[in-house]
Chains A and B, each alone.
Chain A
Amino acid sequence: MFRWDQVWYYLFQDPNLYFLQAAWITLWISVVAQAIGIVLGFILALMRTSKYVFLVWPARAYLWFFRGSPLLVQVLLLWAGLPKIFPNALLPAWACILVAFSLNEGAYMSEIIRAALGSVDPGQMEAAKALGMRNNLAMRRIVIPQAMRVIIPPLGNEFNNMLKTTSIATVIGVEELTGTARDFGSQNFTIFELLIVATIYYLVLTTIWEFVQRWIENRFDPDRANVAIAAAQEKSTMKRLTGLGAQTAR
């Protein structure tokens, strides 16, 4: 039978706040890994668009590996392999997860960032140069801020994914949401109930993120021009889904 009381207990009555703590671990691993991933992504994107072969090829090899093999395998490789290479290094499980997730995310972010940098009209760089800006200054003041507007929507997706993918951390014993549900649940045969608790926490996290993302998108949008466009698109999607007003619309 289904133990509603267990769901209720771990959501609202647990004095030890196990799931809240687990959610916190999920959250901070996601945030830190995403942040490092963004920085790595910028470095890799700049390397890949560089004119020097000795920068381009390492970046390509990096992407080839991290996008070409499963994240779970990368985590396990790191977990099993590091002690072999550095027998004396004691890498805790959470650090191992953080490294693997950051490296992996860097590869995906670099693709997003490269595409965004490429989407900025080359005329912007030319104008900056013609005004006497050096390459770094022009990138920092003109190109990257415009690329940010293109980066942010897919970045939102990446982070949403990251929040959920942290569940992989459970395989090497990190007590994030999924691991906590499994461990507590297998003790008293309530794994289904506790997975529901974990799911609710995941949903809360991703929902909050959705709001944050919308707020960030507005901030990076001078003049809120794209808000109007987005609203118009949303409307037309609704129309398409419902079939309402399709004929009468303009």
Chain B
Amino acid sequence: MNTDVTTNDFEGSQNVEMVRTEQLVKRFGDNIVLNGIDFHVKRGQAVVVIGPSGSGKTTLLRCLNHLEKIDDGRIYIDGQLVGYREEKGRLVEDSEANIARLRSQIGFVFQRFNLFAHKTALENIIEAPIHVLRQPKDQVVERARVLLDKVGLADKEDAYPHRLSGGQQQRVAIARALAMNPKLMLFDEATSALDPELVGEVLKVMRQLAEEGMTMVAVTHEMGFARDVADHVVFMDKAQIVEQGPPEQIFGECENERTRNFLSRVL
């Protein structure tokens, strides 16, 4: 278990838990998509979520930064209640400003990249630090160049998204999220929209982040990545967490029937 806190965060030692959900419930109409999820991520951990299509993995991630409203339960990020505040024992949706502030601390990487189409790679990265965090432009640009270099795209800063390959776009998207100095990164199948030969370059960046101690949750179908990089693997099926544990356990001698079935299909 990774309880030693390596971040230089002041509150770091007070709260080793970065994400905690309690009996999280999410419905779309009559369809229960998350049915009482207790999901925990410790500071510095890389958690990989696997599971068959439609099991609720994307929805779980989207709830974590309140891109989806929840129907019951609680979500805490770094000890803070997400998306709601308590008033007389009831949950009331939080103000737009508070929700935005929370999201600015959480990086989200989409399956379909979602780079701003009218902005160059560099402009994509500097947009939110300048206009959300109100940091001085020259500082932001300098850091953006460092990040572009880090994801291996130092020479692409002036390229518009449609001139970049999928893998390059996704790496810019990761750099864009990192530019906000997030305390948590969420990856929703960051590689599944990519041609097979481009998957590796994105996984490499994600692996490096995990090694640097970034707290992250990655939904992925890349079992090799899950096995090598994850500190903790969560298997979801039919709106529930069916099994979780260190990768050796999940990929080795998992006892659950459904997990074994799923793994035998994907491995």
Interface residues, chain A, with chain B CB atoms under 8 Å away: 121, 123-124, 126-135, 137, 141-142, 145-146, 149, 222-223, 225
Contacts and interface: CB of A to CB of B under 8 A. Distances in A.
Interface stretch (B26-34, B100-108, B140-148): B100-108
B77 interface: no
B132 interface: yes
B210 interface: no
Given A123-B110, A127-B114, A127-B115, A141 B127 contact: yes
Nearest to A130: B108
Given A131-B128, A132-B100, A132-B104, A126 B180 contact: no
Contacts of A135: 96
Contact of B112 (A123, A129, A142, A225): A123
Contact of B160 (A129, A149, A222): A222
Given A223-B160, A225-B160, A225-B162, A133 B128 contact: yes
B116 A132 contact: no
Contact of B100 (A127, A133, A141): A133
The 5 tightest CB contacts between A and B, nearest first, are A132-B104, A127-B114, A131-B128, A130-B108, A123-B114
A123 B120 CA distance: 17
Main secondary structure of the interface of A (DSSP, over half): helix
A137 B118 contact: no
B156 to A, nearest CB: 13
A134 B116 contact: no
B90 interface: no
A127 B132 contact: no
A78 B128 CA distance: 47
B118 A145 contact: yes
Given A124-B117, A146-B118, A149-B118, A131 B127 contact: yes
Given A129-B103, A131-B176, A133-B100, A146 B117 contact: yes
27 contacts: A121-B117, A123-B110, A124-B117, A127-B108, A127-B173, A128-B128, A129-B67, A129-B100, A130-B65, A130-B67, A130-B108, A131-B103, A131-B132, A131-B176, A132-B104, A132-B128, A133-B132, A134-B97, A137-B131, A137-B132, A142-B116, A142-B127, A146-B117, A149-B118, A223-B162, A225-B160, A225-B162
A2 to B, nearest CB: 54
A134 B131 CA distance: 10
Nearest to B115: A127
A125 to B, nearest CB: 9
B160 A126 contact: no
A244 to B, nearest CB: 31
A134 B100 contact: yes
Interface string B157-175: 0001011000000000100
Nearest to A141: B131
B116 A127 contact: yes
Contacts of B103: 129-132
Contacts of B173: 127
A60 to B, nearest CB: 26
Nearest to A223: B160
B107 to A, nearest CB: 8
Nearest to A131: B128
Contacts of A222: 118-120, 160
Given A126-B67, A223-B163, A131 B180 contact: yes
Given A132-B180, A133-B132, A141-B127, A126 B116 contact: no
